Amino acid sequence: MTVELAKRTYSGAVRSIKVGEGDKSFTVGGETAFPFYTFEGEMPAPPRIGLNIIDIEPDGYAPALKEVYGDVMGDPAAWARKCVELGADLVQVTLTGTDPNDKNLGSDHAVEVVKKVAEAVDVPISVWGTANVEKDTEVLKAVAEALDGRRLCLGPVQEENHKQLGAACLAYKHVAIASSPIDINLAKQLNVLLGNLGVTDDNILIDPTVGGLGYGLEYTYSVMERARMAALTQQDERLQFPLYCNVGSEVWKTKESKLPDGEMKMGKMTERGVLMETTTATTLLAAGADILVLCHPRSLELTRKLVGELMAD
């Protein structure tokens, strides 16, 4: 006996956004139904998965990640190439070295690093600041100008610096990652402000701010779910943007990801960290994530396998 699934038609849709330039560029978004509900609507573009690198050799990096990247961690270009070899659709360059509370390196350093990465790989590149409003304004503006036309994803673009960074994205043809602190109203407000500034709708991604498994994941999920509901069922134009989730750095900074094997009866460290990252990623996929940035290649492999199975006819 055939079971007929109840179907619903949605009045709204998520915008399609192009990321990167060249043969390896890709488009995300375009959904006309909830995540993987392909029996109700279209999901023309699969979620994309990137890997994260850091502009300087990091201190206190999780041992499980050092095992994978230890030979290239002092060379961002080589690190980026390795990420592409491991299957990354996108490389995110996190500018840890520019943090005013750390090394406080300047915009010249950031530009040099991002240029080297751009020369080393042909996949799209995302550039992630420190969330320090003033420093990110200085650094990301310089990067945007230096990489004019490369269609980078630049973030986090916050309400406090949206005018400067939004203008940079507009002038140099980049995509703004609009970042708000796990609040749907603030997310919508920031998108309104960027639109008022002149940033077009095909140049905005939403960063809802990600909490890892056990560290606020349920709050992120709730905000993403509400954003998708508003986009599809209420035709809220200011929330009809693809969702960008910076997962890996949140998961691998937790104490659980760094505890030695057998500590507190938590099993093997590498398996534990990979499962924490993969569980976080797959949960956010169910909430509507269009771009996921991870750290461990095994997490990427597992997450991509799930996406393939869910997208299969």
Using pLDDT thresholds of 50, 70 and 90, give the confidence band for residue 307: very high
Cis peptide before 156 (omega within 30 of 0): yes
Q: Which fold has domain 16-311?
A: TIM Barrel (3.20.20)
Please name the residue that has the structure tokens 């491991």. Answer: 86
Phi, psi of 128 (to 5 degrees): -115, 125
Using pLDDT thresholds of 50, 70 and 90, give the confidence band for residue 288: very high
How confident is the model over 275-285, as pLDDT tens digits? Answer: 999 999 999 99
pLDDT at 291: 98
CB atoms near residue 232 (< 10 Å):
25
pLDDT at 130: 96
How confident is the model over 98-156, as pLDDT tens digits? Answer: 999 999 999 999 999 999 999 999 999 999 999 999 999 999 999 999 999 999 999 99
Q: Mean pLDDT lowest for which of 43-47, 136-140, 258-262, 292-296?
A: 258-262
Helix axes 162-172, 133-146, angle to 10 degrees: 10
Task: Write the burial class of residue 264 (CB in 10 Å: 0-12 exposed, 13-18 middle, 19+ buried).
Answer: exposed
Structure-token pair, residue 167: 């203008």
How confident is the model over 196-237, as pLDDT tens digits? Answer: 999 999 999 999 999 999 899 999 999 999 999 999 999 999
Using pLDDT thresholds of 50, 70 and 90, give the confidence band for residue 264: low
pLDDT at 266: 77
Question: For residue 154, which of 182, 183, 124, 197 has the smallest C-alpha distance?
Answer: 124
pLDDT at 73: 95
Q: Report the predicted TM-score, pTM, of the whole model to 2 decimal places.
A: 0.96
Q: What is the residue extent of each domain of the chain?
A: 16-311
What is the bridge-based pairing of β-strands 90-94 and 289-294? unpaired
DSSP 165-230: HHHHHHHHT-EEEEE-SS-HHHHHHHHHHHHHHT--GGGEEEE-----TTTTHHHHHHHHHHHHHH
How confident is the model over 20-33, as pLDDT tens digits? Answer: 999 999 999 999 99
The DSSP 8-state label assigned to residue 264 in this structure reads G
